[in-house]
Homo-oligomer: A and B are copies of this chain.
Amino acid sequence: MHTETITGLTAKVLDIPHVLAADQFGEIVRGSGVVPSEFSYRKDEEIYGEGEPSEYLYQTIGGAVRTYKLLSDGRRQIGAFHLPGDVFGLDPGLEHRLTAEAIVDTTVRLVPRRSLEKAAASNAQVARNLWTLTASDLRHAEDHMLLLGRKTAIERVATFLLEMDRRLAKTGMMALPMCRRDIGDYLGLTLETVSRALSQLNDQGILMFSSARQIALRNRQRLTAMEA
């Protein structure tokens, strides 16, 4: 049964504050009467490209996804990381505005947009959930503009750590799926600057590495004070 899986995810989604108060994807899927498919992507595989027709709405089940834009010379800005439970791919135009790639081997659930549009036309709750999902993305983007435009390197990294801690820390320890370059491209920094900031926080005892990507926050209060 799907319900079991969906219910399992609901608890997870509730942990993600930027997805408001409910399992939007589950509600949308149930409201539209469509059975979602599952699909898997290998590490670094493209899920969809910027400019391609937007045909599906996705939910990450396992793994992690980055969505990004490129400048002509290759400079990259990652707009968001999509962790288990997160919904992505909802570009309510005809085309995707960012490229989506699997950061590690990733499984997603997906439903055709066409059936969502159809359901939204007659089911106000589905329409509202779709709107709320877009609004969540907007909220994140607004916060991220403040970070990119006005925060210093150490403040950006502090904000990033708190965001990831909130979203994927289970046992006080977080396992980052992305490399330093991805973090840099998310924060508008170089990978070296990210590395230096993390080392500095380690030296100050604010975090502890068990490996480069296994990080435990040891003092969230000081980190919160640093994010400005």
Query: Which of A134, A148, A149, A187 is most buried by chain B, counting CB atoms within 10 A of its CB?
Result: A149
**When chains A and B are docked, how far (Å) is the Cα of A171 from the Cα of B137?**
37
A145 B145 Cβ-Cβ under 8 A: yes
* Residues 87-112 of chain A, each 1 if its beta carbon lies under 8 Å from chain B, else 0: 00001110001100000000000000
**Chain B residues within an 8 Å CB radius of A127:** 120, 124, 127-128, 131
Question: For chain A, which range describes its interface: under 10, 10 to 19, 20 to 34, or 35 or more residues?
Answer: 35 or more
A168-200 vs B, Cβ < 8 Å mask (1 yes, 0 no): 000000000000000001011000000000000
A interface: dominant SS: helix
The answer to whether A148 and B151 touch (CB under 8 A), given A120-B124, A135-B92, is no
- The answer to whether A142 touches B141 (Cβ under 8 A) is yes
- The interface-forming segment of A25-33, A34-42, A56-64, A65-73 is A65-73
Contact of A71 among B122, B139, B150, B187 (CB under 8 A): B150
Which A positions have Cβ atoms within 8 angstroms of B? Answer: 20, 69, 71-73, 75-77, 79, 91-93, 97-98, 120-122, 124, 127-128, 130-132, 134-135, 137-139, 141-146, 148-151, 185, 187-188, 228
